[in-house]
Amino acid sequence: MVPDSFGGTLSAAQAAEAVALGWADGAPHDRVDPRPLSDGGPGFVEVLHATVGGDLLTLTVSDPLGRPVPATVLLAGGTAYVESAQACGLHHLAADERDPRVASSYGVGLLLAAAVEAGARRVVVGLGGSATNDGGAGMYAALGAPPLGADGLALPYGGAALAACAGLGGVPALRGAEVVLASDVDNPLLGLHGASAVYGPQKGADRADVLLLDAALQTWAEVLVADLPGCPPDLATLPGGGAAGGLGAALLAVGGHREPGIELVRTLVGLDDAMDRADLVITGEGSFDSQSLRGKVVSGVAGAALERGVPCLVLAGQVHVGKREAAAAGIEAAYSLAEHAGSVDEALRRPAEALRSLAARVAKEWSRG
């Protein structure tokens, strides 16, 4: 059982436990091997700490609106693992607070600063689940390189202010550490498939906001290319640049390189060895939709199962992918928690119990025992 988190209701570890208990209810003679996963979004540090060990550095950073929130950096063997969602995640905001025009990634910069100050020579940044669309400008400000206006003064936080960006107030202080983007998406920074157009509406942007933010990020990208030594000239179109509201582009601009989050975690948790011994693979997430098939946990797990000829099932809060599309990705069947519970509200009211019950039902259908 290798699930991702369930959209703020269950962590990956909680989801894995619920499915394992449910499977034991429905097929008590089967052996279940729970291995929670993350593609770089919420739960990234928790999942890796449970697998690779290491030390947790506990911090207080800023949420997307500047309020203090707890966060952790995982230090293991000279590498630091940072989860951007701990600082700028959408789960920090109520529905009426979502506004990517003003939300800031400043807290992510505080996490990176803590990682390099602790001596990490390599920093792996999990990207996903963000509330921001500021291209990493807030992160840069926390690292000593704030975006500046034509008057030489630091701009306000948020993506909208970048429309007036004319330069940088320094170079991000990363002490020469190698930077790795653990990204769950391959979207570029700009355009129809960019950060603003694809993910902006989830964060509270309307059509006018999307156009404003995309134009502001174009200005920001031009400044980074002009002012940062070694910044790739094609920054605006690089795969992964649109991850986490453009945080991906900001990290690529300082020499970072991208690794698909699910592939990185898959290696660290020993997923391939476990799947070599499996007769059935079960994965899941909050919403199984078209984005699930673009480098997220579900697509990575299904692809690995397909390579081995092992059937793969998806248990999700809601299912929005058709049977034909799912089958093409290597998924035998997908089950909706909301349909099983009777409604979305009922599924959200007691998610662990509902998931356990669904898993018990699926076990009776699929168990070979």
* Domain extent listing, the chain: 12-36+272-366, 44-262
User: Would you state the structure tokens that stand for residue 45, as one six-digit string?
Assistant: 């540090």
Residue 136's pLDDT is what?
A: 98
| Residue 226, C-beta contacts closer than 8 angstroms, at least 6 positions apart | none
Quote the CA–CA distance of 180 and 350 in Å, as a whole number: 37
Residue recorded with tokens 């673009």: 294
Q: Which CATH class is domain 12-36+272-366?
A: alpha beta
Count Cβ atoms within 10 A of the Cβ of residue 151 and give its class: 0-12 exposed, 13-18 middle, 19 or more buried.
exposed
- Cβ atoms of 269 and 37 within 8 Å: the answer is yes
Instruction: Report which residue type is found at 97.
Output: E
- Helix (H) or strand (E) holding 73, with range, is strand 68-76
How would CATH label the architecture of 44-262? Alpha-Beta Complex (3.90)
Q: What is the model's pLDDT at position 114? A: 98
| pLDDT, position 175 | 94
Whole-number Cα distances in Å, 185 to 161, 245, 362: 25, 11, 30
- Both tokens assigned to 49: 């700490």
Amino acid sitting at position 165: C
Integer Cα distance of 72 and 171 in angstroms: 25
- Rounded Cα gap, residues 135 and 145, in angstroms: 13
The residues near 76 (Cβ < 8 Å, ≥ 6 apart) are 48, 52, 53, 54, 55
Q: Is the pTM of this model over 0.75?
A: yes
pLDDT (tens place) for every residue of the chain, 369 residues total = 788 888 778 888 899 999 999 999 999 999 999 888 888 888 899 999 988 899 999 999 999 999 999 999 999 999 999 999 999 999 999 999 999 999 999 999 999 999 999 999 999 999 988 999 999 999 999 999 999 999 999 999 999 999 999 999 999 999 999 999 998 788 999 999 999 999 999 999 999 999 999 999 999 999 999 999 999 999 999 999 999 999 999 999 999 999 988 888 888 888 888 889 999 999 999 888 877 776 678 888 998 899 999 999 999 999 998 889 889 889 999 999 999 999 989 988 999 999 999 999 999 999 876
Specify the residue for token string 């404003």. 212
Would you say 167 and 184 are in contact if contact means Cβ atoms under 8 Å apart? no
